[in-house]
């Protein structure tokens, strides 16, 4: 379904931009999550690794990088920190020594078991005053925004001359 443009380059302002509000919402949610995670010695970025490993959605650094849209260098540094803290362990695959396999340690498994309660509490605090219908609508609209992403990862279609 095509629609007319909702933003006019001549009148768009930061405080009325969807991108601004999405970034602000993400930032306050990350800050609240990081505060709630302090007792576990984790950050909001690190819980993605813990939950991806716990759910079986990834088992190698490459799979984690793809799952979480991180470059390999950033993922390596995050795994270094999590390994140093005792949440994950890395071992070489018996089948293919080039592959590093990741597993949660006992501490990592304990954290994974506690994260759903922490996540639910943080989200419930942040969504105070929202109805179920409002939340469902918000999630549906965000899914539509995500669905509008170009399959090839290309930019928004501006010509080189448009940005000058």
Q: What is the pLDDT of residue 98?
A: 85
**At CA 34, angle to CA 30 and CA 36, rounded to 5?**
120
Give residue-wise pLDDT tens across range 27-62.
999 999 999 999 999 999 999 999 999 999 999 999
CATH class of this structure's domain 14-145? mainly alpha
> Residues 136-156: what's their mean pLDDT?
85
CA distance 103 to 89: 5
CA distance 90 to 100: 6
Length of the chain: 164
The first and second tokens of residue 145, run together, are 């925004």
User: Where do the structural domains in the chain lie, given as residue ranges?
Assistant: 14-145
What's the pTM value of the predicted model, to 2 decimals? Answer: 0.80
Residue 122 has pLDDT above 70, yes or no: yes
Cα separation values, 95 from 59, 98, 100, 125, 131, Å: 14, 9, 11, 46, 51
3-state secondary structure of 10: coil
Write the DSSP symbol of residue 157.
-
Give residue-wise pLDDT tens across range 60-84.
999 999 999 999 999 999 999 999 9
For residue 164, name the pLDDT band (cuts at 50, 70, 90): very low
| Signed CA dihedral, 40, 46, 47, 51: sign only | negative
Residue 1 has pLDDT above 90, yes or no: no
CB 72 within 8 A of CB 56: no
């Amino acid at each position: 379904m095509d629609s007319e443009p909702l933003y006019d380059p001549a009148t768009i302002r930061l405080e009325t931009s969807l991108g601004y509000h999405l970034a602000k919402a993400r930032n306050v949610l990350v800050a609240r999550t990081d505060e709630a995670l302090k007792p576990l010695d984790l950050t909001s970025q690190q819980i993605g690794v813990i939950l991806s490993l716990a759910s079986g959605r990834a088992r190698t650094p490459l799979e984690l990088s793809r799952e979480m849209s991180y470059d390999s260098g950033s993922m390596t540094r995050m795994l270094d920190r999590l390994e140093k803290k005792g949440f994950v362990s890395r071992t070489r695959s018996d089948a293919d020594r080039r592959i590093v396999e990741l597993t949660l340690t006992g501490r990592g498994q304990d954290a994974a078991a506690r994260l759903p309660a922490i996540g639910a509490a943080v989200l419930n605090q942040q969504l105070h005053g929202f109805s179920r219908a409002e939340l469902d609508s918000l999630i549906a609209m965000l899914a539509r925004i995500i669905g509008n992403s170009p399959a090839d990862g290309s930019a928004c279609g501006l010509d080189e001359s448009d940005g000058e």
